[in-house]
Amino acid sequence: MNPLSNSISRRDFLSKSVAGAGAGLVLGAPNILRAANADGADKIHVALVGFGKQGREALFNAMKNIPGLHFQAVCDIWDYNRNSGVNSVNAFQGSKPNAYVDIDEMLAKEKGLDVAIIATPDFWHSPHTVKCLEAGLHVYCEKMMAHTIEAAREMVKAMERTGKLCQIGHQRRSNPRYRYTLNRLINGKKICGQIVNASAQWNRSLGASQNIGFSKKLTIDQAVLNRFGYKDMMQFMNWRTYRGLSGGPISDLGAHQIDIFNWFLGTVPKRVYASGGNSYFKDREHFDNMMCIFDYDTPQGEVRASYQVLTTTSYGGGFYEAFMGTEASIKISEIAASSAIYRESGDHVPDWGDLVDRGYLIKKPAPPKPEASADAVAAYESAAPDIYDLPGGFGKPAHQPHLENFFDSVRGKAKLNCDARHAFESEAPIFWVNPSALTKQPIDFTSEHLAV
């Protein structure tokens, strides 16, 4: 295998990958909605596959704000989740969805479905997505795409084989704050100058990282657990801590921000070096704390991006990403209060008065030390157009813009912001973080590491 040793070869690889992504990026046509509606409306008929915390609180609650959806079916192996789904949908739309334990039964019996929303555990993402795509449905699937890179590859192939839309739930790709920062400030106004470093973190408190408990009265029958890949109820509730079921914290939490590295820098890394360990949760299969460094070759030059995911402390402000350049540094988060832009001092930094006057930036009081370095003389925040309602917030649940983009694409009114191929290109390096930490060796990426 020949290492992708320079930025040109990796950019060539990426361009070829993007060229093959047509099925995931084409505009949907209005007639792709298969369900016939008596009232003539372009109502989208939706199946909810997985109605746990993510499916319920993050996705369904956001979809309730999107008009034109009919929730036709709920599928979940746990009675508790399944009944919650039926009751939640009935309370919202005044009619009960059909309920299923098995997705195969759902796909065989349900007629007129247009879309499946997949929010099952990671190791079920690929099988469920592929089944739904092959059944003729468009799919919105939560990230990570899968628990192994091979399973993620199958999702890309199924999307392109079937010609159906498949959006992956990297919701920041549709977040107006992120899109504005990248398109208008970093790329448009070159506000950072040359980006030379990036960093990101997700530090989660020990209290929020404990095993999820359950009532024994709600225990799933052992035969059902075995049928769907779980050895017991503890594993079912805490699947994120098992190597055979997920990628652990680096994929559960880290995938959000490593995706931003790749998206904002416009390329994939050439190398990763990771270190991790079971610092507190000694009985868990996955490391509870992880740090890694990605090396990038970009058109501007080399960039090193450091990332840490900690599950034993919330110190340092929770989660955010930062891009540090010769003229400014941008710290960005889904939480507006954690976002800021720091201007460097010196004659080499252009005056930002015009950007403030034109409404691109709002000047803030200088932050206290040591949040800003001694040379970062002023702090700013982005002042996006009014339609985004920034910087205080865009007034919607975090996942709603990404779901809106998906449903607009199903209706033929938009293009997907994160189809399966582009998500794979960004996620592929993440699959190699755990192997690097386990072997205590850097991994130089080749086409075999990153290609579909």
- CB atoms under 10 Å from CB of 184, counted, come to 15
Q: What are phi and psi of 175, to 5 degrees?
A: -70, 120
Determine, yes or no, domain membership for 231.
no
Q: Are 364 and 379 in contact (CB under 8 A)?
A: yes
Q: Show the tokens assigned to 247.
A: 């990628």
Residue 63 in domain: yes
CA 78 to centroid of chain Cα atoms = 25
Q: What is the CATH number of the domain that holds 318?
A: 3.30.360.10
Q: Are residues 131 and 41 in the same domain?
A: yes
Cβ atoms of 214 and 233 closer than 8 Å? yes
CA 327 to chain centre: 29
At 340 the pLDDT is 84
User: Is residue 223 included in any domain, yes or no?
Assistant: no
414 assigned to some structural domain: yes
Tell how strand 328-332 and strand 319-325 pair up.
antiparallel
* Nearest residue to 410 via CA among 33, 24, 11, 19: 33
Range of the domain at 92: 22-174+401-418
The predicted structure's pLDDT at residue 305: 98
Same domain, 116 and 258: no
Tokens of 438: 């386990």
- Answer for the pair 302, 340: CB distance below 8 angstroms, yes or no: no
Q: Which residues, listed in sequence order, are joined to residue 160 by a DSSP beta bridge? A: none
> Would residue 355 count as lying in a domain?
yes
Asked if 61 and 168 sit in the same domain, the reply is yes
CA triple 426-428-434, angle to 5 deg:
120
Q: Which two tokens stand for residue 225?
A: 């657990």
Note whether 148 and 84 are same-domain residues.
yes
In tens digits, the chain (452 residues) has pLDDT values of 333 333 334 444 444 443 333 333 333 333 455 544 444 468 999 999 999 999 999 999 999 999 999 999 999 999 999 999 999 999 999 999 999 999 999 999 999 999 999 999 999 999 999 999 999 999 999 999 999 999 999 999 999 999 999 999 999 999 988 998 999 899 999 999 999 999 999 999 999 999 999 999 999 999 999 999 999 999 999 999 999 999 999 999 999 999 999 999 999 999 999 999 999 999 999 999 999 999 999 999 999 999 999 999 999 888 999 999 999 999 999 887 788 888 888 888 888 888 888 877 777 665 555 555 545 445 665 544 333 344 344 678 999 999 999 999 999 999 999 999 999 999 999 999 999 999 999 999 999 999 99
Q: 30, 104, 51, 89: which is closest to 414 by C-alpha? A: 30
Identity of the amino acid at 351: D
- Residue 322 · residue 329 · CB < 8 Å: yes
Residues 126 and 193 in one domain: no
At residue 398's C-alpha, the angle toward residues 392 and 403, to 5°, is 130
Does residue 4 lie within any of the structural domains? no
**Residue 146 sits in the same domain as residue 192:** no
Same domain, 340 and 191: yes
Q: What is the largest CA-CA distance in the chain?
A: 70
pLDDT at 360: 79
The whole-number pLDDT of residue 69 equals 98
Asked if 41 and 116 sit in the same domain, the reply is yes
Count of structural domains, the chain: 2
Any domain includes 166:
yes
CATH of the domain at 80: 3.40.50.720
* pLDDT at residue 31 in the model: 41
Is residue 328 located within the same domain as residue 353? yes
Q: What is the pLDDT of residue 38?
A: 43
Q: Quick one: 438 and 328 in the same domain?
A: yes
Residue 62 shares a structural domain with residue 152: yes
Rounded distance, CA 107 to CA 101, Å? 11
Task: Read off the tokens for 277.
Answer: 């360990």
CA angle 30, 33, 36 (to 5 degrees): 115
Domain membership flag for residue 423: no
Same domain, 192 and 341: yes
Pairing of strands 301-310, 195-203: parallel
The tokens 């299923």 sit on which residue?
100
